A and B are shown apart, each in its own frame.
Chain A
Amino acid sequence: MIESLLPTRSARAIVGWSIVAAILVLLWVLVDNNYYLRLLISAGIAMIGVIPFGLLMGHMGYMAMGQGGFIGVGAYVVGCLTVQRFEIDIWAALPIAIMVVGALAYAFSFALFRLRGYHFSIGTLALGQLLYLAFDSWEWATGGPHGTSGIPRPAIGEFVFATNSRFLIIVSVFVFLAGFTSWWLARGHVGRALNAIRQDEDLAGARGLDVLRYKQLIFTFAAVWAGLAGGLYGSMQISIDPSSFTIWGSFQYVIYVIIGGAGTLLGPVIGVIFITVLDQLIADVGVWNQMILGALIVITVLFFRGGLWGGIRMLWALALKNRSADRSAVSTQAGAAE
């Protein structure tokens, strides 16, 4: 039915990602509570960074462990431009932050993609840690260990997105854009290339694919969105310090993707939702929650490689199969009755 209403795939994708964004916005109507609103914004910001990251880790199979560094660069560039050293409008600062992160990621991608598998993961881990240490020591731009405070919320004319409910609107728009651009990249030629790189990149090269270019494209793409997520995070938090951009931030992205389901676009979204809800449910058990999360990762990797989204799709397929089995059973009975 949906197919007949929306004839083209891109129309369906636009609608699909709009629904994800709209759900986020609508939840604000339901929750009239600042605490939950902040949770929603955090989840939205995580989605902005992690959906494109899913292309890199899931589709292409390159597990980067340094996204936290790019998030931080995005946040600090915005912080530096809007309050720390300059007083530029945040709408101008965000694009500059994106360009800085993109240029940085592209420059490092030459070195990082000389590496594969483990080596790549550890290389990105080192880059993430290097950036974290830079945030901590380059006081001129970042404010050092004390960080930057007073990052403004964006405004359109007189309308300032000052309250959390208003800020959620901006975040939702970017969630839509992150989801849509990722979908747009994952289909067609780029998607084919990413899947081939994951399966056998040497063979892909021998069959004429410019493997390095695609790897650099996706790495930069994921970094740019992480940078934007960082910029929005800074604006949400108003003040930032290096402790928000440690290696745990990088691991968090990896965890969202693996728990939600690697290799799919919706998997990371579901991962973010699941972990956010889980964090609330197990908040009472205090520090043990890290243990539960760790156990979940181990169990997922060991036994449910498809993650939550893979599980949902499997159940869905099973249900469809049962229904068609029921139908065929009914029709055979009917046939026998005749």
Chain B
Amino acid sequence: MSAFAQQLIYGTSYGMNLAVAAAGLALLFGVYRVINLAHGQLIMFGGYIAYVVTTGLGLHFFVGFAAAMVAMGVAGVILEISVFRILQRRPATDQLLASLGVYMMIGILALRIWGDFEARPINMPGEEGAILLGEDIRIDFARIVTIAITIAVFAVLYFVVYRTHLGRTMRATAQGPETATLMGIRKREVAALVFFIAGALGGAAGAMLGGLFNVRPDMGFQPLLMALIIIIFGGMGSLIGAIIAGLVLGILYNLTVFYVGSKLGDLVPFAVLLIILMVRPQGLFGLPGRRA
């Protein structure tokens, strides 16, 4: 039983990290119908920036975390200006393809800069400490820190999307470009901000995942796949759906890995996805009848 509770907690923390990674994708899809595969590499680079700032420069984890968010936010804006703005009116597959190209381009950078596939640790606050609950349920401080950060990130995101003028504009844009133009929205600024937020979410996910599992040049791939599954699971473009789906998937993953074996654990998300696609293609919280 205690092992089950332990896995539940670990799954929750992993799931929350995935939810942050997926939220960036969901935001872009929700507002602009764009799927950005390069998001996976923003996660990876976010991890490396946090690594440089904390382990390299010896600064506090939160500084590294903030640096990762800002840097990847800027990277998101650069992507918007250089690629996605040009592809605005193209078919969906064009945007997917271009982002694949970007994924390949960025993917190799970290490997070139740091030169190997070695896993690098990020100094997290309370690295050694842990809370013991009852007999043998152990929760690392690092896990608690990431859970706390995730909740804070989502609180800020919720505030931005539902309580600010920018959020209203974003949601209006999601309703359709016509509505947005009617409201007198300056599109470029909004696009830049949305891509900034999405990139920053990727950076945040990278810093946290790097903190928990070390930083590697290929660390962006697995979260990217998971994030894609999560946004389909939760309904494309739905932030709340992304959070819930992230948690479910994270817990499911950890439980399967613990009780059945790591290989089957890897299989679970994809099997779940295929089943969902068959039963409910619009996801748990998606609107039906909408053309992709």
Contacts and interface: CB of A to CB of B under 8 A. Distances in A.
Q: Do A and B bind each other?
A: yes
Interface of A: 57, 61, 63, 108, 110-112, 114-123, 125-127, 129-130, 133-134, 136-137, 251, 254, 258, 287-288, 290-291, 293-298, 301-302, 305
Contacts of B104: 290-291, 293-294, 297
B100 A291 contact: no
Contacts, number: 124
Given A119-B292, A295-B105, A125 B228 contact: yes
Interface residues of B, number: 42
Which of B86, B100, B278, B291 has the most CB atoms of chain A within a 10 A radius of its CB?
A: B100
B152 interface: no
A291 B105 contact: yes
A133 B101 contact: no
B274 A127 contact: yes
Contact of B277 (A63, A112, A254, A290): A112
B59 interface: no
Ranked nearest first, the 7 interchain pairs of A and B with the lowest CB-CB distance are A294-B104, A297-B101, A117-B292, A294-B105, A298-B101, A130-B270, A137-B263
B127 interface: no
Which of B111, B228, B271 lies at the interface centre, i.e. has the most chain A CB atoms within 10 A of its CB?
Answer: B228
A122 B224 CA distance: 11
The main secondary structure of chain B at its interface with chain A is helix
Given A119-B292, A126-B229, A133-B263, 10 more contacts: A112-B277, A116-B291, A117-B91, A117-B92, A130-B274, A137-B264, A293-B101, A297-B104, A301-B97, A301-B101
B87 interface: yes
A290 B292 CA distance: 30
Interface of B: 29, 35, 83, 86-87, 91-94, 96-98, 100-109, 111-112, 225, 228-229, 232, 236, 263-264, 266-267, 270-271, 273-274, 277-278, 281, 291-292
B274 A137 contact: no
Contact of B100 (A112, A119, A134, A251): A251
Given A119-B281, A129-B225, A63 B270 contact: no
Contacts of A290: 104-105, 107-108
Nearest to A117: B292
